[in-house]
Amino acid sequence: MATPHELLTANLHDVFGNRDPGSRRKAIHATYTADVSFSDPDETVTGLDALEAKAAAVIEGAPADSVFAPVGLEYTSPDSGALAWEFGPAGNPVARGIDVITVRDGRISALRTMLHS
């Protein structure tokens, strides 16, 4: 079973930071429960297909040099975790936020993204 640290890393890089639809889909199935709930400032969606659509919209709508990078400390417990990040060209982020996850059976069952204002 994946640890919260591994899940936070997969969420950031293998899913939301992944420009390849095939490997992103594979990572989604390995990282999240089928009934995953994803909340961001715009909406809350449920399920793998909805989460995949959100991830694709983020990365495919960004310039090619945009990347996600962790920032600061990561916080974890056996069933949850939090990781701050920045997104944009390396060294020149255009967005900052934090992801908070709930873990069930070694996968993310809930993901909440909060943006820095």
CA separation for the pair 41, 36 (Å, rounded) = 17
Which of the four pLDDT bands, split at 50, 70 and 90, describes residue 117?
confident
The model's pTM: 0.95
pLDDT for 87 beyond 90:
yes
pLDDT per position as a tens digit, 14-53? 999 999 999 999 999 999 999 999 999 999 999 999 999 9
8 A C-beta contact, residue 28 and residue 51: yes
Range of the domain at 109: 4-115
Crossing angle, helix 21-31 and helix 48-60, to 10 degrees? 140
**How many degrees, rounded to 5, is the angle at CA 43 between CA 12 and CA 46?**
70
Residue 84: half-sphere exposure toward Cβ, Cα within 13 Å: 6
**The CATH number of the domain where 28 resides is what?**
3.10.450.50
Express as a percent the part of the chain with pLDDT over 70.
Answer: 100
Residues 60-72 pLDDT 10s: 999 999 999 999 9
Domains: count for the chain: 1
